[in-house]
Every structure is written in C-alpha cells, then in structure tokens.
Structure 1
Amino acid sequence: MKRTLLLLAVALVAPAVAHATTATATAQAELQAGVAAYHRGDYQQALADFRQLAAQGHVFAEFVLGTMYEKGQGVTQNYAEAMKWYRLAAAHGDAVAKNQLGFMYDHGQGVSQNYAEALKWYRLAAAQGYARAETKLGMMYTVGQGVPQNYAEALKWNRLAAAQGYALAEANLGVMYTRGLGVPQDYVAAYKWYLIAKATMSATSPYYAVVSDNVKQLSAMTTPAQIAQAQQEASAWYAAHEHAGHAP
C-alpha cells in the first residue's frame, strides 16, 4: 500500500516541537520565521531562513530543506538534493528524516529502488519509536517486500504503531484479524480495530472510506452481540489511548 509524502503542514509541527528544547532563542525565532514564510507560500524566504539554520546544524531545518527539494517548493524538484539534506538530518538523529530516506529508497526517488536499504532506514526510524516507520515495517513483512513474509513480525510492528494511536496501523490490525494473518481469524477483534482506526483517522484521509467500508462489510458478518462487544472494546481502548491518536 503506497502512502503519500509527509505533509509539511504536519511536519512543521511535531518535529519542530521535538527539536525546540535544544534550539537557542535566536534559532527558535528564525525557525518560527521560516515556518511562517512557508505557510504563507513565501518559499524563497523560507528557503533562506532554513538554509541559514541548516548552516548552523539545525536538524529540523535540514529536514525541511530535504522536504522542499523533494516536493519542488521554491526550488526545482531535486531528489538527489533532498537525499543530501535528509542524510544530514538523519546523521543528527532525526527519526522523520530516517523514515523519509526509507521512503525514497522504497520508491526509487533520487536513488535506485532498494527495498533492503529502505528497510534499514525504516528500522532506524522505528528504533526511535516513529509510528509511521513501524507501520511501514508492518506492511513490508505482511507482503514480503525486501524481507521474507512474516505475519508475526508484521503484527508486532503494527501493534507498536497502534499503541501510539497511529490510525493506519490500527486499520492494518483490522485486516490481519479479518483474514487471520498471524492471528486466529477474529471478526470481533477486526471490527474493534476498524472502529478504533475510524475514530482516530481524519475523514479526509484516503483510507477513511476503505475503513468505513470494512466496518460495513463486517457488520453483515457478525451478530448484534459481537458488534456490541467490539464497540465496547473499541471505546475502552480508544479512551485509554486517545491522547496518542494521529491520522496517517
């Protein structure tokens, strides 16, 4: 299953918060200026701000420059240049940059497609608890992409991401329980995970309609008592993990 590029509207929030604790007051002000320029569509100013920060070794600025070159924002799209900036950010420990390097090897952007190399970068990002990378590892083990097919491993990675409230991983668990992949087939558990995913996922997500359709199909395959049980389990789980929820 392909995923879209990391939306900078999201990327400019979470990573910025993560790096803010190590930024000086001046660098933080420059960062905010760069973010503001980006959001008003002034990519040239954003590039100037982020380049200045990147020259000082600011990890988030390195990551954003990689994203802007990848997407061709304010510059000619250049995957090789994007890779350069992602590698710098990854070398400074940024999990999101590591995940994006995995994505580029996965899809052959700026490099020859190489699932083994993609797997390496996804693993490095997942080792830092990055849910998107954990979910991607789950997918690769499910289909045997770059690794031998291994449903137990797929289940492990999807569960780790789901524990963080990552909607796509929750939906993947629904699929695994529906089909009995690595677990006994269990429609109640499948229904539960689809409900959790639907509650976590934005209605604008490209996966929302698919999850909604899966809920509808399972409704015709389960009893009212089973549906009630799944709803109860989903409500309890979602209430306990709501703070971690975020859409793919």
Structure 2
Amino acid sequence: MKNQSSARAGYDTFLWYREAAERGNPYAQFNLALVYKKGQDVARDEVRAFYWMLKAAQQGLAFAQNHLGVMYYNGRGVASNDKEAVRWFRAAALQGEVSAQQNLGQMYKKGRGVARNDETAVSWFYRASEQGVASAQTLLGEAYVHGTGVRRNYPLALAWFRKAALQNDASAQLNLGLMYKHGHGVARNEAQALAWFKQAAAQECAVAQRLVGVAYAEGQGVPADPLRAYAWLVRAAEQEDADAQFNLGIMLANGKGVERDDELAFTWYRRAAESGHMLAQYNLGGMYARGRGVARDDQRALEWYRMAAEQGAPNAQFNVGVMYANGHGVAKDEARAVAWYRCAAEQGDASAQNNLGVMYANGLGVERDEEVAVSWYGKAAEQGHALAQFNLGGMYGSGRGVARDDQKSCMWLTLAAEAAELAAASNRKNAELDLTPQAREVATASAQHWRAAHATRARPV
C-alpha cells in the first residue's frame, strides 16, 4: 500500500508539472523535462524531455539552458550539435550558472562547437572556480601545471588542487599527490603524495589505486609491502588501468613479492596489450616466444612484437628483425629484417646496431658495405655490447671497412673477452702475437682508459 501511495503521489506531481508547464511556468517546464529525462513516474522519453527543456531555456532559466546544452552535446532527445551546445552553455554561463561556465570552458579547451582557445577556457574555469566548484578548480590547476592558456605556475596549481581536494574531488587529490611526488611547487614528499593518492584511491580512482600499489611495491613513502601492492594493483587493473595490468604481469612473471604464476601473468599482459599498452605487447610477445604461461607460438609472438614495434619500442623492433632474419613465425626476409634492425638501431638499441652491422658486413638483405658495418659495430661497441666489440675488433684486425689497426683490434677484443665473449679471448691471443710488447701495452692501456670512461654504462648482452 505504501508503494502504491508513493507511486500515486509521484504521478500526481507529474500531472501538476504538466499542467503548470502548459500554462508557461518555466520552472514546471524544467522539472517536467527532468521527469521525462529520468523516466521518473512516467515512461522515459528524451524527445519530450528536450521539448520541455527547450521551452524553459527559451524563457531564460539558466539551469535549463545548461541542461539543454548538455543534451545537444550528448545528442540526447535531439541530434548532437556542438554549436548549439556552446550557444546554450554561453547563455547560462553569462547568467552566472557555474556548471555552464565549466562546460563552456571545456568546449573551448576541446575546440568543440567553437575554435579552440585555451586562454578563454581558463577564464571560464576561473569564474566557476571562484564560486567554489571543485571540478573547475581541478581543471584550473591542470592548466597551471601544463601551462595551457596561462603561464605555468606550480604554486598556483598546488593551491587550486588543494581547494578541490579538500572538497573530496578525486582528480584533485590525485593531482595533488603527483605534485608532492615530483616536487612541483612544494618540497618532494613521497609520504604526503601517498596520503593523497590513498584518498583518491578510496573513491575508486584507478590511476590513484595503481600509484598506491606502486608505492607499496617500491617502498615509496611507506615500507615496502608486496601483498598490499598486489591488492591495490588488482583493484586498478580490474578497472582496466593498463599500466596496473602490466605491473601485475611483471610481479607474477618474476615472482616479485607474490608466487610466480606465468599463466596469470600472461592473462594480465594480454589485457593490457589488447588496450594498446606497448610494453605489455612486447612482454606478451616474449611469453609466446618462450612458451611461458601459454603454448609456444612464434606467429603470435611476432604479431605482438610487431604491434609494440609499430608503436616505436626499439626492443620489439629488434626482435621483429631477428624473427624475419631467421624465419621464425614468418617466411625468412632479410630485407625486412634490415628495415626493423634500422628502426631500433637509430633509436640507440645496441643489439640492433650490432645485427645491422652484421647484415652490412655480409650483404644480407642489403648491399654489402663494410664501412657502414664498421660504423654500426662502433656505435654498439661504444655502448659496451660485447659481441659488437668482438666484431669491431675483427674488422680492425682484418682491415675490413677500416684501415687495419692491430692495436685497436686488440683493445676491442680485450674488452669483449672481459665481457665473457668467449671467442674474443682466443682471437685476442692471436692479435697479441702480431704486436710488439710496447704495442700490447698501448692496447691494454687503451682498454683500461675505455673502461674508466664508460664505467657507469651498463653493458647490454
């Protein structure tokens, strides 16, 4: 009986709104539009909602004008029309309607229905922010952080984020945490950053949940706690945060803080990869290539490596090159291998530089050019790539692509041998036989000098 009474009262209210709306009452027209829009006590009807919202807006009701702008923006009850949305947002904004001011700012920021103008966007965000709208304050803070429409100013960004964060705006809390994490406008403080991330995470902000997980994983602002890290990353990953999914894949594949589980790692890598995450695509290719968590499949490995390679990942480009060079998962194609090696090599990938040198030295997929081979070997060797050092030593020792120089040959072979390139040790002994004792000393000194100059560089395998 209570539900029936409530339903009857709701329908009576609808009838009252309709009668008053038909007499021209703008507030009744607005409320009647909301009833139709929500399907409250009557069948939902967005076309009628638009009709009555337009009636109210045409009488100058600011909040009806803002709602009408939203309906035009989203194409609800009427065909989508950004210019009409701007028109009605502006009408409401000039009357001081705060939501319309923020919406109009967004239209200028996005360049929808009006030419993009970051300065005008900021001016409207500022008007809404001054009236205490947290979401507008966050947008204004972001403008100050990135210097869009206004000169970059971290202290002002921090101030606006703080105003919005104290109103429990999750985006502002996230941004405020990032300011503390990176020391922008405030002294760097990982603990304070984590505190704000947690507040945003509690409101189901996926990015904040991931950052809390990373903080626990790496001990940033809190003692490291792998289990808590995993729990927070799962929460973010289940909201389709690709970076969280990728991080979970790493934890599970390496058994980092949790029990190693290749199959579950594969699942998270795949979810992230399918959303376009470059590094997840690369790692997923590796899972297929090695048969970890899934049956080995060179064709699928190549597919995922190529996706990451096309996004510019140099390690993926190198692997695609290797697969074409060796005919793994695809017909052997040395010319394509050269093309992919070049993509990675030009980004500084030492392994690709070495392999590209091999292709030029042997005329594989490209016209033989020993001088170019020496150039690529040299780039990789300078990065500490042991095989490239061995190859470069061989070129100097035989005078291929470069004037023969037994001292330089001995130096590069020495460095390669120290990096556990086994063939280099034998070749170095042969090279030393051709040197005088003085020349051997010079070669040894050159190797020591190179090591000292490159002491901080990691040596790629």
Q: TM-score range by the shorter chain?
A: 0.7 to 0.9
* 1:110-154: CA deviation from partner (whole Å, max 9, x where unpaired): 111000111111111112111111110101111111112111000
Higher RCO (C-alpha under 8 Å, 6+ residues apart): 1
In the alignment, structure 1 residue 243 sits paired with structure 2 residue 452: no
Distance (Å, rounded) in 1 between the aligned partners of 2:306 and 2:323: 11
Please name the residue that 2:447 is paired with. 234
**2:301 counterpart letter in structure 1:** A
Distance (Å, rounded) in 2 between the aligned partners of 1:125 and 1:209: 26
TM-aligned CA deviation for residue 74 of structure 1: 1.6
**1:33 counterpart letter in structure 2:** L
Please name the residue that 1:87 is paired with. 306
TM-aligned CA deviation for residue 217 of structure 1: 1.7
In the alignment, structure 1 residue 31 sits paired with structure 2 residue 250: no
In the alignment, structure 1 residue 61 sits paired with structure 2 residue 274: no
TM-aligned CA deviation for residue 56 of structure 1: 2.9
Distance (Å, rounded) in 1 between the aligned partners of 2:288 and 2:366: 30
Distance (Å, rounded) in 2 between the aligned partners of 1:61 and 1:186: 45
Please name the residue that 1:12 is paired with. none
Task: Kindly report which structure 2 residues correspond to 1:180-195, keeping only aligned pairs within 5 A, or say none.
Answer: 180-195=399-414
**1:239 counterpart letter in structure 2:** A
In the alignment, structure 1 residue 218 sits paired with structure 2 residue 431: yes
Please name the residue that 2:112 is paired with. none
Contact 1:71 1:77 in 2 (8 A): yes
Q: Equivalent of 1:164, from 379, 383, 395?
A: 383
Identity, % of aligned pairs? 36
RMSD over aligned Cα atoms: 1.7
Contact 2:341 2:352 in 1 (8 A): yes
* 1:203-243: CA deviation from partner (whole Å, max 9, x where unpaired): 3xxxx221111122222222211110001111111211222
Please name the residue that 2:330 is paired with. 111
Please name the residue that 1:133 is paired with. 352
Contact 2:351 2:460 in 1 (8 A): no
Distance (Å, rounded) in 2 between the aligned partners of 1:113 and 1:107: 6
In the alignment, structure 1 residue 77 sits paired with structure 2 residue 327: no
Distance (Å, rounded) in 1 between the aligned partners of 2:446 and 2:309: 39
**2:246 counterpart letter in structure 1:** L
Contact 2:383 2:460 in 1 (8 A): no
SS in 2 for 1:243: coil
Distance (Å, rounded) in 1 between the aligned partners of 2:413 and 2:458: 14
Contact 1:158 1:172 in 2 (8 A): yes
Q: Equivalent of 2:341, from 122, 129, 132?
A: 122
Please name the residue that 2:188 is paired with. none
Distance (Å, rounded) in 1 between the aligned partners of 2:357 and 2:268: 37
TM-score using structure 1 length = 0.83
Distance (Å, rounded) in 1 between the aligned partners of 2:266 and 2:343: 28
**2:277 counterpart letter in structure 1:** H
Q: Equivalent of 2:364, from 145, 153, 169?
A: 145
Contact 1:165 1:242 in 2 (8 A): no
Distance (Å, rounded) in 2 between the aligned partners of 1:232 and 1:86: 42
Contact 1:107 1:113 in 2 (8 A): yes
SS in 1 for 2:455: helix
Distance (Å, rounded) in 1 between the aligned partners of 2:458 and 2:385: 6
Distance (Å, rounded) in 1 between the aligned partners of 2:444 and 2:357: 25
Distance (Å, rounded) in 1 between the aligned partners of 2:352 and 2:363: 16
Contact 2:243 2:277 in 1 (8 A): no
Distance (Å, rounded) in 2 between the aligned partners of 1:105 and 1:58: 23
In the alignment, structure 1 residue 155 sits paired with structure 2 residue 155: no
* 1:16-57: CA deviation from partner (whole Å, max 9, x where unpaired): xxxxxxx96355554333223212452101101211221332
Q: 1:107 to 1:119 in 2, by over 3 A?
A: same
Contact 1:166 1:245 in 2 (8 A): no
Distance (Å, rounded) in 2 between the aligned partners of 1:140 and 1:242: 29
SS in 1 for 2:268: helix
> Number of residue pairs matched?
220
Distance (Å, rounded) in 2 between the aligned partners of 1:108 and 1:242: 37
**1:60 counterpart letter in structure 2:** L
Structure 1 residue runs without a partner (length 5+): 1-22
Please name the residue that 1:3 is paired with. none
In the alignment, structure 1 residue 197 sits paired with structure 2 residue 416: yes
Distance (Å, rounded) in 1 between the aligned partners of 2:368 and 2:311: 32
TM-aligned CA deviation for residue 106 of structure 1: 0.3
Distance (Å, rounded) in 1 between the aligned partners of 2:442 and 2:458: 22
Distance (Å, rounded) in 1 between the aligned partners of 2:384 and 2:269: 31
Structure 2 residue runs without a partner (length 5+): 1-206, 212-235, 237-241
